[in-house]
Structure 1
């Protein structure tokens, strides 16, 4: 049985993720594993062990009740749902948990992150994007009705992205979705001639063990724009893409501040669902 992991905080964004997860689970006969992280900090509470235990029991019961209320939805009928309570807050651990339970994908709701918070801390969803080697689907609470008929894979098609491409292809196949391909050609030093793009694409599909790399090259849409994010947004509005799929390097620390992350920006700002996987 397929497994879908959904981190929840009982917000509207979590409910949107649950709605999408239920829709997918019904189509592929998957179970949903919902995880909620408590706000207890073992270090800060060690001075009062008895009081800590009382608080943990109380919070566990309260969370259990919130889970019951959160899961009291008609669209979850006939779907296996497993709630899991974690006694720590660490969004990096979501990826670890996904691997431990052999999750096929993670689904998270997001309302994006803006302004200074986007530069310094980012959203909880971003933290999972940076660390997850399991495909992560980011959906927005105010997004259009979810559909997964067409997945648009966006990449620079460097050979380092092949493994991420294979994992995204597995998800697309699982969703019974058609995959389209997009290469954004940028001005300046990043510009590539048609011949250079063909060489890059051929090497990529050959490494990906595509049965016909030459034919695969012809399937890639080439779009010119001033930035990757602008190109993705502009092209996706013209295409029939339901989901934008993009690999990520998972940059952290100073590297993230200096160079940013295209996948995080797209996940933050795109109204369409975004599927990411760490390179």
Structure 2
């Protein structure tokens, strides 16, 4: 991960995401791109299209970006920092920058004390998460820039899991963070057999010494995932999932309320083009 994009509207939660991204960039020796977009609203009448406001680039915006750039360098050291201001809708601007700058990781901040509830349902972050092509790291408002020590990779045995686990290793290696590959099942015997099988085929494909495997069993998969985060004292949780199936799970499983309890834990999402499991579960 060599290029990290962080959109900002200069709010407290967006600034927190910038600071978190700066910490990662310092560990990874990665470039940070600070992105601010603005949109000039229009009124369409029977006779004409009228601009409702002047473009929102002013000296305050430039000063805010300059201050953020300075703070990023204070945290991350001598890394490249680029600032981009663009008149565009937020998602369109992000997607354009991701493509133009070959962004490896998009970092987004959540809104308010509800943490991931604000990210996953009815917010700009939810829409962005579903519609960009690079990995997305969601930073809850109350997350701090502490050292990564334990990262959960929640698997349902996807064909591309090893690809994403190896990307995650790039993130974990500088701090020698432990990666705990976790699977949640509603059937204990099946769960144990599947995890043993997955471990057997995973170990030859993963060159990282700080990997462990842990299975959890419970009637409610999403409840059990929240329990795993708390039990393992994870600093981050990662998922590789198809976009639409991910949101269907959220809506049907009330993940928002459950994850809100763990609002200090960032969520890293890798996007699957399609769900293709290694084993029928």
**What TM-score results when the alignment is normalised by the length of structure 2?**
0.74
Matched, 1:247 2:240: yes
Indicate the RMSD between aligned Cα atoms, in angstroms: 3.9
Structure 1: stretches of 5+ with no match in the other structure? none
Distance 1:233 1:92 in 2: 33
Matched, 1:274 2:267: yes
Distance 1:191 1:48 in 2: 65
Over 3 Å counting, the alpha-carbon distance change for 1:131 and 1:13 in structure 2 is: same
| Other structure's SS at 1:159 match | coil
Distance 1:219 1:29 in 2: 26
Matched, 1:195 2:188: no
1:167-210 per-residue CA deviation (whole Å, 9 max, x = no partner) reads 333333466433111111125xx9835334444x26xx74x6x5
| Other structure's SS at 1:237 match | helix
| Other structure's SS at 2:237 match | strand
1:222-267 per-residue CA deviation (whole Å, 9 max, x = no partner) reads 1112333322221122214221111131118xx9468738898477
Give the aligned partner of residue 32 of structure 1: 32
1:105 Cα deviation (Å)? 1.7
151-160 or 34-43, larger mean C-alpha shift: 34-43
Distance 1:132 1:219 in 2: 30
Q: Is the 8 A contact 1:17 1:107 kept in 2?
A: yes
Distance 1:229 1:221 in 2: 16
Distance 2:121 2:141 in 1: 21
Give the aligned partner of residue 107 of structure 2: 107
Over 3 Å counting, the alpha-carbon distance change for 1:12 and 1:221 in structure 2 is: same
Matched, 1:20 2:20: yes
Give the number of equivalent residue pairs: 261
Indicate the structure with greater helix content: 1
Over 3 Å counting, the alpha-carbon distance change for 1:228 and 1:193 in structure 2 is: closer
Q: Is the 8 A contact 1:168 1:277 kept in 2?
A: no
Q: Is the 8 A contact 1:267 1:274 kept in 2?
A: no
Distance 2:162 2:193 in 1: 21
Over 3 Å counting, the alpha-carbon distance change for 1:27 and 1:89 in structure 2 is: same
1:162 Cα deviation (Å)? 4.4
Structure 2: stretches of 5+ with no match in the other structure? 273-281
1:76 Cα deviation (Å)? 6.2
Over 3 Å counting, the alpha-carbon distance change for 1:185 and 1:101 in structure 2 is: same
Q: Is the 8 A contact 1:129 1:278 kept in 2?
A: no
1:110 Cα deviation (Å)? 0.9
**What TM-score results when the alignment is normalised by the length of structure 1?**
0.74
| Other structure's SS at 2:146 match | coil
Matched, 1:7 2:7: yes
Over 3 Å counting, the alpha-carbon distance change for 1:259 and 1:78 in structure 2 is: closer
1:21-69 per-residue CA deviation (whole Å, 9 max, x = no partner) reads 22222222222101111022578698357x87xx22x535553233234
Distance 1:67 1:222 in 2: 44
Give the aligned partner of residue 65 of structure 1: 63
